Amino acid sequence: MLNNIMTVIRSFLSFEDKSSSILFLSLCCLLFFIPLSTSISVIVGFFVIAIWIISGIAIRNIIDVLKQRWMIPVFVFIFLPWVGLIWTSDIIKGLDFATKSYYWLYTFVVASIFMTKENLKILINAFLTGLAVLSILSLLHFLDIIPKLLWIPTVFNKKSITSSLLLVFGMLLLSFYFKEATGKKEKIFILSMFFLFFIALLIGTGRAGYLAFVLLCPIMIYNFFGKNFVKIIFVNLIMILLLFLSPIVQNRVYQAYNDIVQYQERNPNTSVGLRLHMWQGAFKIFLENPIIGVGTGGYQLAMKKYENPSLAPEFHNIDDPHNSYLYMSVSFGILGLFSLFWLFGILLKNGFRNRENIGGFAVLAYTLVLIIGSLTSTQILSLATGFLLAILSGFQKHLKIEAER
């Protein structure tokens, strides 16, 4: 613990000016709170942006940031929702979506200050610490040691999908740390954190996290055991078996199956049934408007044409299709879908090329998690995952991206 504190202090002192040091510490606070609280993250996030602007760092380093070729898809993401207001049928709803473009300011913030590999590691550790607090509170809540209060962050609240994805991302990061670790105590600590996150995933209800874990578990096991493919296959099967031995996981999988059966019997008022209804409608809307879509925030009104008579009244006003790919397609047509794949492709490429350092691996791992999570919810709009996407996009400025120079 003392070593970690000293590392943070040395990192704080390594910056050339006090404003950069304060901005860096503020970013650490933001990453700590992202897994824990939406409201506090917003407050800290605005504080970060305020320091960035008032200190002059935004203006001083903006030219260097704008020169980065990987910024092009970021600009598309910033401006596309605003351009989409021109042809939307719901300008009020469209403005609500367009204003979320401010998430991308954190890309500029992170890219504007000089950071070493150690600085990036400290930012990632701040996130992992917040995720550990979430996991511990969830476990205490599950064991009835702490009361069930709405203000206590756990994996059981409305953000269970997002929390489950963040847990998988955390496990991927820890597997990288294990690969790099040399001391026995360090490896034991990393393994303990890994299984804390795994247990939190087991007791949580986010099915998107289950899917992400199953698909990305081989990467984790590879980091633990290297190129021993027999061990990778064997341990991977054991981990997946442990996941599905959880009664909560089994119940959630059975619920998904039951929801599909009910949807086939014309009952869309279930978690999966509602998604199937939204996806089917979104696909039809896209086929009718394949070039430019229905504009920013136009999905809700466009879905009126495809409302299911059996749909409960409270489900008539859902404003996005709970799928990032369909959201971009229905809102901005082929251009929107292409821009999303472009952004993910750039992040995957740059992350993979730098996968041997923690910053590059974080970019790669998070992009993979977000690609999977975006299948069942619009994670590019969710505050926690949206903030992280912007912050990790900014990491690219501090990686060795030879092909992008």
Comparing C-alpha atoms, which of 304, 404, 339, 327 is closest to residue 373? 327
Confidence (pLDDT) at 316: 81
Q: Convert 67-104 to b/e letters by CB count within 10 Å (16 or more is b).
A: ebebbebbebbbebbeebbeebebeebbeebbeebebb
Comparing C-alpha atoms, which of 157, 238, 160, 167 is closest to residue 196? 167
Confidence (pLDDT) at 300: 92
177 φ, ψ (degrees, to nearest 5): -60, -40
Please compute, for residue 302, the number of CA atoms within 13 A of its CA located in the half-sphere on the CB side.
30
Query: What does each of the 405 residues of the chain score in pLDDT, given as a tens digit?
Result: 445 555 554 554 455 567 888 999 999 999 999 999 999 999 999 999 999 999 888 888 888 888 888 999 999 989 999 999 999 999 999 999 999 999 999 999 999 988 888 999 999 999 999 999 999 999 999 998 887 776 677 777 667 899 999 999 999 999 999 999 988 999 999 999 999 999 999 999 999 999 999 999 999 999 999 888 888 899 999 999 999 999 999 999 999 999 999 988 888 889 999 999 999 999 999 999 999 999 999 999 999 888 888 888 878 888 899 999 999 999 999 999 999 999 999 999 999 999 999 999 999 999 999 999 999 999 999 999 999 999 999 999 999 764 444
* Cα–chain center distance at 382: 8
- What angle separates helix 91-98 from helix 71-83, to the nearest 10 degrees? 160
Residue with tokens 């000089």: 114
This prediction's pTM: 0.92
| Contact call for residues 220 and 172 (beta carbons, < 8 A) | yes
Residue with tokens 């550990």: 132
Residue 347 has a CB neighbour count (10 Å cut-off) of 24
Domain spans of the chain, in order of start: 72-105+271-405, 155-265
Confidence (pLDDT) at 402: 45
Q: What share of the chain is helix, strand, coil (3-state, %, to 5)?
A: 75, 0, 25
Confidence (pLDDT) at 114: 85
